[in-house]
Every structure is written in structure tokens, then in C-alpha cells.
Structure 1
Amino acid sequence: MEAVKLMRELKTNFEQEMNYLPKETGLCLIESTRENDRQGISGKCRDAKVEDLWSLTSFFGYSTQTFVLAVNLLDRFLAMMKVQPKHLACISISCLHIAAKAVEEECNLSSTNELIRISQCKFTVSDLTRMEKIISEKLNFQLKAITALTFLHLYHRITLSHTSDRKEALNLDTLEAQLKACLCRITFSKAKPSVLALSLLRQELEAMQSVDMVEIARSVQRHLKIADVELLHWRGLVAKCMSDYSSPECSRPNNKKLVWIVSRRTAQNLHTSYCNVPELPTIPEDCWDESESEDSCEDMSSGEESLSSSLGSDAEGPYFPSHFICQSNQRNKYHHTP
């Protein structure tokens, strides 16, 4: 009965997942934008901000669900609206704040002021509030979504409901860590959540050499009528992503816990009131298919420090690089450098 219930839930989510996908045309435009283009977001710029969101999620002890939802909101908004790089920090932090309010317990939410200070961005609480309103309106207030994590959890439960062997071997934390790594690349934003999650599951099950579990995954594929060619395509991209992260050339911190490294000046600024920071200028709310508005606003992107070098670690073992080693849920302390 449990298995039947799970399959019904799976089918319902499968039928609705298209409602929460970013527009592919918008994602393609982002991918084709040059990195130094000041009038549009490039794929590399988007990926860097998603890594920053990962860092902040780890720092505040937020769940994987919060991170995945924040990325979904960010991609849906960016694929719909043509925004400039100087506004991306405010947009991404707004998406994280919206996601946290939708997922986390109220007692676990960080204050808006704290979120802005730790992110080290140049905008105010009123800027963040205004941006959240814009994002919510443009997304028609659909602030919860069916994501790859939704399917990953369902696949995991379905697989374990059909077998009593090696339950401990199929580690959900491992799958979640690999999903987060994939989401740091805009390419995977074009994948159907059901297919991306199944690609991760199949890769893990085949690495475990579990014939029974692989057959269960194949049954799920047939139930959802996912084509072999589509699954094969995304499995190849997932494998390459994991391989790249495992490569010695991949830049990653040696520490196993997130350590926030800030300069002395930044450390002082973190304890300074932000009341004198000028408000973020109004952004042109042009869609991708509309003409671009003139912008004479001051560039606020200069001087912002990237947080991606402090990525939180999420998994351990030969299946994943040491960059993503599982960390505790405790909030990490500051480490001030002179």
C-alpha cells in the first residue's frame, strides 16, 4: 500500500513539474551572454551566485530544500526578466530569503539584517523587501515548487520500499550533495526535475552494483514514460559534472567546515549600521522579449567579494570529492584574517 501511494504521488508531481520550470529560451540567452556584458547576466555569473547561495545556506544551517527552492526561484526569475549584473546579488539573496520563509521553521530564520550583513552585499533591508515583492509578483506568487529534490526524495522512498537489502547503502545525503553540485551549473536548470533526479539515482545505484535497485529505478522510468535517450543524455552530463568536481584541478577549500574568511575592514563593516547605505536603484522590469530600458544607475557590483570559496561541504567518500564533505548543522564561526 505504501508503494502504491508513493507511485501516485510521483505521478501527480510528474504531471505538474512543467509549471515550475524556468523558460528555456531565457536560460539559453543567459548562457550565450558574454561574461563581461554589463547589460545581461552570463552563465558564469549566475553559477557564481548559486555557489554563494550554497555557502549562505550552509552558514545559516538551512536545509537542502531551501537551497534548491532558492535556485529554482532565481532561475525562473532570471529566465523571465532581463536584469543587469549589478542587481544579481540583491535578486539572489531575495530568492534565498523567500525560500527560507517558505521552508524553514520561523525560529530558525535569520533576520533580514543578518542575512544582508553576512552576504556582504551593498543593499538595504528596504531594497531586499522591494526586490522580494518584484520577484513574487513576476512569478505569480508561485513561491513553492516541484523540484529535482522532490523527485529525489520520492525515488529514494520508492526504492527502499521495494527492498530490504542494503538500505543504509543508498544514502540520501549523498544524492542531495550531488544534486546541489549540479544546480551550480546553469545547464542543469534546463533538465526536467524528474529526469535529473532519476539520472542521479541511476548513477548511484549502478555505482553500488545493486541489480535489484537498478531494476526498481527502471520500473520508475517506465512508469513515468521517460525516454531512454533523454535519460542517457542527462546521465552523461551528471557523470561529467561529478568527474569535474572530483578533479584535482577543481578549486576547493581544504577545510571540512564552512569558515567565513573576511578582511579586517569587512569585519568592521559587518558590525556597522547599514542605515546610511544608499538604496538600490530601481531596476528596469523588462522581459527578455522586450526592448531594454536605459539605465543610468550607479554600478553597485564593484567591490563585492565572492563567497564561493567558502562553499559548505556535503558528502564524503569516493563517490564525491572532498570539497563536499558532510558538515554538522551547527552554525560556523567567523575567522577574521588580518
Structure 2
Amino acid sequence: MDAFKLMKELRVNCEQEVHYLPKVMGLSAIESTAPGDSRISAKCRDAKVEDLWSLTSFFGYSTQTFVLAVNLLDRFLAMMKIQPKHLSCISLSCLHIAAKVTEEECNLTPTDELIRIGQCRFTVSDLARMEKIITEKLNFKSKAVTALTFLHLYHQIALSHCTDRKTTLSLEKLEAQLKACLCRISFSKAKPSVLALALLRQEIEAVQSEDMLEITSHIQRHLKIADADLVLWSKCVAQCLSDYASPECSKPDHRKLQWIVSRRTAQSLHSYRSVPELPTIPEGCWDESESEDSCEDMMSSGEESLSSSLGSDAEGSFFPPHLRRQNQRQYLYA
């Protein structure tokens, strides 16, 4: 896309972003929730967004899916008074809605599996009803202008205008930084165009590119972003990324997988760990058909143990490793 079309698309999205912002009063009400209150607190919301980040990593969903899910979640929470017990159903519904918009149909996780992996207590019909409520309340069709929308446009504009070809900006790194910021409800108050530009400037200052800094200034003037707003959110971004980079920070996509299972399931799992005595294989008597049958038997028993460990009747934090769903399938069926 040439520079003129990029700037035109930038202006169009800037005019539309106001329609996809959470209500500031609703976000402030969540932030002001006192301990012991029946309403959702900022800490509760942030923890749930981290869970969404973990789930998107586990299922191999894109950053676009995660960002859209968070946008839907914040807009709905800022509009409705929600009890904490309903938050899991709401957040998972937002993720499923976002995935159906951004992901290929063949990559979508089945609803029952999404609930099972998320260790939630509601049913498939509960999730379907909640999705209908969310889409109707938000009047959601198939798109939303988010900070990721601007981040991608800014990145393309910066690279198209930069004369120093040795200077590179990692879009993957910028996306990871955006996800870290979205795990804090305070950033939901920022305009997507301003938050994305603050992230871009942070990274450009790190690579010390004068050309790209000039480009960001041109973008700021083009979108009429006030200096005070950009400075404010740039400081917030710098603080957030500093905290996130510290070794004390537990990152959602680096945590280990944890399951909370019943005692009977745990005993069942222990039984699979015992290694039975294997008969000695006679030399020169290799039967290929018997070998294939035995492999199928072993795989079927392995699948049963995996299924039994993924109970949907328990609650707990879900912290998957940095795995892709495709890799998981290759492992199970290789």
C-alpha cells in the first residue's frame, strides 16, 4: 500500500475509533471497586485478561484475536454491572466471538473444548447465550478499531518512509508490548491511536532512529494528537514495559500449565504412570501389522489419560506453556 493510501486509511480509522472505546465512567467504576465489593475489580479484570492471553497462546490464535477479545470485554464490562462469578463466561465468550471474526474456520477451537481447556463451570448453551447478549449490547458486527489497527498502520508508514534500511522495527515485539499494556485496565482509557503511537515512539527511541522519529511527529500532526496526551501515555507505556521486563513479573505466556483435578482423576492419572513389563521381542519375528495395532492401542490409552486430566468441573488459574495447537496435534498423532 502506497503512502497516500496508508495516510488516508489512518485518518478513516482515527475518525471511527471513538465508536469502539469503552465508557470511561464504567472503567473508572471498576477501578474504584473496593475489596469485598460484589462488583468486578480492576485486579479481577486484569487477571482475566492474562488468562485470555494464555488461551490465545495455547490455541495458536493471533494477536488480533486477543486484542479484539479484550476490546469486547472492556466495552461490555464498562457498560454492564457484572458479578465476578459471571466473568469467566463473559471473557471466554468475547474470545470466541473474536476468534470467529479473525481466525480461519479450520483453526477455530470447538466450543466444548474451549470450555474444557478453560476449566469453566458453564455449558455450551450458556456460552452461546452470553455471546448473543454481548453482540447485541455492543451492536457488534464484524470489526473494531483497536490499538493494533493503528500499530500495524504506523509500522507500515514508518518502514515506507525510512531512508535508513539498516533500521528495523519488529512488529512482533510491538505486538507483545501492546498485549502487556492491555493486561492493565488503565490503558483501556487511552485512545487506540495515541496508545499505538506511544508504543511506536518507545521502540524508535530504543533503536535511535532520527528518520523514524520525524515520521512519528508527522503522524502526530496528521492525526492532531496533543503533545500532552502523547507524553502522558508514553510515560505510562514506559513504566508498564519496565515492570513487565522485571524478573519478578510472571508473564502469562511463560507460565507452566497447571490443572486442578479431583482425587479420583488424580488416582487414575497415577495408574497410567506405571510401566508394565514388556515381553521380550523374538529376533526375526517382526510382524508389521501387529506393530501398528499395538501403536494404536498405546495412542488410544494416551488420549484417554489426557481427556481425563482436562476436567471442566474445577476452577483454577490456567497457565499454558508457549505452545501452538498445531504442534500439540502433531505430538499427539505423530
In the superposition, relative to structure 1, how do residues 331 and 29 fare at CA in structure 2: closer, same or farther (>3 Å)?
farther
Is the 8 Å Cα contact of residues 17 and 192 (structure 2) preserved in structure 1?
yes
SS of alignment partner, residue 8 of structure 1: helix
SS of alignment partner, residue 258 of structure 2: strand
The corresponding residue for 1:305 is: 316
Q: CA RMSD in A?
A: 2.6
Whole-angstrom CA distance in 2 between matches of 1:168 and 1:98: 37
The corresponding residue for 2:202 is: 203
In the superposition, relative to structure 1, how do residues 169 and 104 fare at CA in structure 2: closer, same or farther (>3 Å)?
same
Is the 8 Å Cα contact of residues 30 and 43 (structure 1) preserved in structure 2?
yes
In the superposition, relative to structure 1, how do residues 190 and 103 fare at CA in structure 2: closer, same or farther (>3 Å)?
same
TM-score scaled by structure 1? 0.80
Q: Deviations 1:290-328 (Å, cap 9, x if unpaired)? A: xxxxxxxxxxxxx62122x4475xxxxxxxxxxxxxx76
SS of alignment partner, residue 123 of structure 1: coil
Q: Deviations 1:118-175 (Å, cap 9, x if unpaired)? A: 0001100010001001101101134420000000000000001112424662000000
Whole-angstrom CA distance in 1 between matches of 2:125 and 2:59: 21
Gaps of 5+ in 2: 270-304, 330-334
The corresponding residue for 2:112 is: 113
TM-score scaled by structure 2? 0.81
The corresponding residue for 1:261 is: 258
The corresponding residue for 1:151 is: 150
Whole-angstrom CA distance in 2 between matches of 1:83 and 1:13: 30
SS of alignment partner, residue 175 of structure 2: helix
Letter in 1 for 2:176: A
The corresponding residue for 1:84 is: 83
| Identity in percent | 68
- The reply on whether 1:95 has 2:94 as its aligned counterpart is yes
Gaps of 5+ in 1: 278-302, 313-326, 334-338
Superposed displacement of residue 26, structure 1: 0.2
SS of alignment partner, residue 261 of structure 1: coil
Whole-angstrom CA distance in 2 between matches of 1:142 and 1:202: 32
Letter in 1 for 2:54: S
Whole-angstrom CA distance in 2 between matches of 1:125 and 1:329: 21
Higher helix share: 2
The corresponding residue for 1:8 is: 8
Letter in 2 for 1:140: N
Whole-angstrom CA distance in 2 between matches of 1:159 and 1:186: 28
1:231-270 alignment, distance < 5 Å: 231-252=230-251, 259-265=256-262
Whole-angstrom CA distance in 2 between matches of 1:65 and 1:170: 19
Q: Deviations 1:211-262 (Å, cap 9, x if unpaired)? A: 0011001100010010111000000000000011112332348xx8664222
In the superposition, relative to structure 1, how do residues 257 and 235 fare at CA in structure 2: closer, same or farther (>3 Å)?
closer
Whole-angstrom CA distance in 1 between matches of 2:191 and 2:169: 23
1:181-220 alignment, distance < 5 Å: 181-220=180-219
Is the 8 Å Cα contact of residues 35 and 45 (structure 1) preserved in structure 2?
no
Superposed displacement of residue 330, structure 1: 4.4
SS of alignment partner, residue 177 of structure 2: helix
Whole-angstrom CA distance in 2 between matches of 1:102 and 1:252: 26
